[in-house]
Chains A and B, each alone.
Chain A
């Protein structure tokens, strides 16, 4: 029982940003059917923007979340307007679209080093307190990060499911032409969704960054897990993405405790997801889109 509690507490607190990042990625995937590899750099840039605002202006961590999220959102929209929209208008195929996003991911990952420098950077924040949660010591920082992630994730979920814009977003995702006939402006709504996805990714990046360090590979290291969570959880919609994201975090934490080695946990997880992918076959990935 202790083991289970430990796994749940550590899994939830340590891997909370994964859920947030997966929600942002899933929004893009559901709307455009595009696997945007460069989403990993939206996450990385969120961490860099947060670190920059923190170290340059001396803002505390919770204040820097605002510029980090907004700036990542703006970058996300810029990538859509400058690259993915022109590509779509030129009728670039699905495979080529993924390669373009792969190229963009590489370009951003290395280009940002010319702006922020080559060495690994850190947030300048006071050392967190350790709080006892069900017998497990958790840093105050991660606990507050979990709370923020929960609020933001539920906020995005409610926005998509309940608000008027959310309805338009879902309408556009399921049938673009019908949505246009109904008076929905596709460009504005598409820009909105790229912005929300960017904000979610940027915030996830800031949470990742403050928990450890800010480095060019920060987002790329998470990308495979985000992809796994979205492709498998996406069949059950955004709720599925959230639940599979949480389950993944807990499974990673539990296996890390069991094996005493994080990498083995990651190995088992990747193999497990790939087996699920194979068992569900083509239906899985197609089903995840709508």
Chain B
């Protein structure tokens, strides 16, 4: 089988789509179900990415890959999860304004620490030395295998989200997100629910950040901008914040459009790709958020079909 059509641009475009779908799914649990507006997705993803990078490059491990890789990814995921607990503790009992401030503040703190601690993170110079935890031949083969592995991880996240929708835990999340005082008055531990959900989903974002770091192989501060938060949010909002497949559909329509269709298939002048297209991409994403929330607030897929789902599950 020849894979000539699968060039480096297409692989990186597909990778971007898959990773953003993963982030969008996790954001769906936070924003769509539990109504925690996390504007600092990049903070948790960045913590995962940089913790992994620092642990992998700066620590002298007594064992090599793949164990070195697995240990470093585990550390990155745990650190992102712990950050989720700290930030969750801070914001779980605040209203939306406080959540915005707390999550934005956290993302800013991550960016500042990554810049100032340059002995560890490389600061503005960047951090190199990351590599795939295996070698199956060519660069392309390595990247394809990595794309496949990350796709499996994101598929597991999708399955998890699908299960949550069908579980008592999912109903708890929806209850807490829909009417927190009511959920609390019914004896549901709303604070603890939000805190743990935030911790677990933040750990997931950190895991994806670490896996992204392996693919790009060189960590730069520009990764810590607002772009990744925006991509996950616009994908989720466009697809449908409350639907399991919302992030998948939305991210394919947005990031897929720009990073795959426009990047690889449209015959546009090359010089457009350096500045015009990336700037246009962000502007269109911003406009999409406004238009969708004004004219179709529930996104392409629409509202949750709880009644139908419950009838199907309980056979009534």
- Count residues of A near B (Cβ-Cβ below 8 Å): 49
CB within 8 Å for A224 and B108 given contacts A92-B293, A99-B233, A113-B279: yes
Contact call A110/B279, Cβ cutoff below 8 A = yes
Binary interface profile of A, 159-193, with partner B (CB < 8 Å = 1, else 0)?
00000000000000000000000000000000000
Cα–Cα distance between A118 and B277 once the two chains are bound (Å): 12
Cα–Cα distance between A176 and B275 once the two chains are bound (Å): 46
CB within 8 Å for A266 and B112 given contacts A100-B290, A114-B279, A282-B94: yes
Closest 9 CB pairs of A and B: A103-B289, A106-B286, A107-B286, A110-B283, A110-B282, A103-B290, A103-B286, A285-B97, A110-B279
Please name all residues of chain B whose beta carbon is closer than 8 Å to the beta carbon of A94 when the two chains form the complex.
95-96
Residue A87 lies at the interface, judged by CB distance under 8 Å to chain B = yes
Q: From residue B219, how far is it (CB to closest CB) to chain A in Å? A: 18
Residue A86 lies at the interface, judged by CB distance under 8 Å to chain B = yes
Which of the candidate stretches A47-55, A70-78, A147-155, A268-276 sits at the interface with the other chain?
Answer: A268-276
Contact call A107/B90, Cβ cutoff below 8 A = no
Q: Is the interface of A mostly helix, strand, loop or mixed?
A: helix
Residue A62 lies at the interface, judged by CB distance under 8 Å to chain B = no
**Residues 110 to 164 of chain A near chain B (Cβ within 8 Å):** 110-111, 113-114, 118
Please name all residues of chain B whose beta carbon is closer than 8 Å to the beta carbon of A12 when the two chains form the complex.
none
Contact call A110/B93, Cβ cutoff below 8 A = no
Q: Is the interface of B mostly helix, strand, loop or mixed?
A: helix
Q: From residue A247, how far is it (CB to closest CB) to chain B in Å? A: 18
Contact call B105/A285, Cβ cutoff below 8 A = no
Contact call B94/A99, Cβ cutoff below 8 A = no
Cα–Cα distance between A107 and B284 once the two chains are bound (Å): 7
Residue B285 lies at the interface, judged by CB distance under 8 Å to chain A = yes
Q: From residue B269, how far is it (CB to closest CB) to chain A in Å? A: 16
CB within 8 Å for A106 and B289 given contacts A113-B279, A114-B279: yes
- Count residues of B near A (Cβ-Cβ below 8 Å): 42
Contact call B297/A282, Cβ cutoff below 8 A = no
Contact call A110/B116, Cβ cutoff below 8 A = no
Q: From residue A26, how far is it (CB to closest CB) to chain B in Å? A: 12
Contact call B95/A277, Cβ cutoff below 8 A = no
Residue B113 lies at the interface, judged by CB distance under 8 Å to chain A = yes
Q: From residue B238, how far is it (CB to closest CB) to chain A in Å? A: 11
Residue A267 lies at the interface, judged by CB distance under 8 Å to chain B = yes
**18 residue pairs from A and B, CB less than 8 Å apart:** A90-B294, A94-B96, A96-B297, A103-B290, A106-B230, A107-B286, A107-B290, A110-B279, A110-B283, A227-B101, A231-B97, A263-B115, A270-B112, A271-B109, A274-B105, A281-B93, A285-B94, A285-B98
